[in-house]
Amino acid sequence: MSDTILITGAARGIGFALAKLFLENGFTVFALSATLRDELTALAGTRPDRLLLFRCDVTNEDEIAAAAAGVARYTPMLDVLVNNAAVLIENRAWDLDKVDFEAMKKTYDVNSVAPLRVIKHFIGPLLRGKRKLLVNVTSEAGSIGDAWRKSEFGYCMSKAALNMASAILQNRYRDGGVKVLALHPGWVRTDMGGPEAPIPPEDSAAKLFALIRRKWRAEDPIYFDLDGKPMQW
């Protein structure tokens, strides 16, 4: 089998662009998404042997476990795992008395906790893979050193938590040969980024692709921007 990659949130935006790019470059792609949109299904129809789709809500551990069992029927190994699924659903209120705390909890569940659920069920295949690369798609919004916002508490806090998880995961799995990356994809013109964002998802995916394909050492930094520049935690 060709090199393998698993991508969450693969039905749209950056996730879809990454799935398409890795497919075009010879990878076998396992695409996980809560909703299998027509565009992703059509793409899978062009290469059903190398793009395998799994309906999976990353907040539902039973669905993640089912996806892991499905992937295991194709291969015991995984070379790259990309935690891309994320949400920005808060109202961006500046005043704390107007913050939607239920939306904050949902944001934290998807953006911070769900990647660990996914890793729990796929770390075994990743440890058996050739590349052993674990990628968490984070954001500059998670940087405490460069914090500038006055709102978006939930999203920023969730990405800061994901950055901490990435550092702990690198400590935990360094001896197993795993390299962890936390990559900021830029301000991308997606449903989340909005129509004013300057970067098309295809351009963001192309730069992420280049970073993922780079040869990494466990001792290398973890948190990078889209151009490969280390970012402040």
In this prediction, residue 95 carries a pLDDT of 81
Cα dist from 26 to 23, 29, 161, 186, 205, whole Å: 5, 9, 33, 26, 16
Regions of the chain where pLDDT drops below 50: none
Residue entry with tokens 């891309």 = 84
Element (H, E) at 173: helix 153-173
Q: Mind listing the pLDDT tens digit for each residue in 4-29?
A: 999 999 999 999 999 999 999 999 99
Neighbours of 58 (CB within 10 A): 25
In this prediction, residue 92 carries a pLDDT of 74
Confirm whether pTM is higher than 0.75.
yes
Residue entry with tokens 């440890």 = 127
Phi, psi of 117 (to 5 degrees): -60, -45
In this prediction, residue 97 carries a pLDDT of 86
Query: Domains in the chain, start-ordered, CATH in brackets?
Result: 4-224 (3.40.50.720)
Element (H, E) at 185: none
Neighbours of 198 (CB within 10 A): 10
Grouping H, G, I as helix, E, B as strand and the rest as coil, residue 207 is helix
Rounded to 5°, angle at Cα 136 from 52 and 23: 30
Phi, psi of 55 (to 5 degrees): -70, 120
Grouping H, G, I as helix, E, B as strand and the rest as coil, residue 210 is helix
Pick the closest to residue 205 from 30, 10, 21 (CA basis).
21
In this prediction, residue 1 carries a pLDDT of 67
Residue entry with tokens 């075009």 = 24
Neighbours of 20 (CB within 10 A): 21
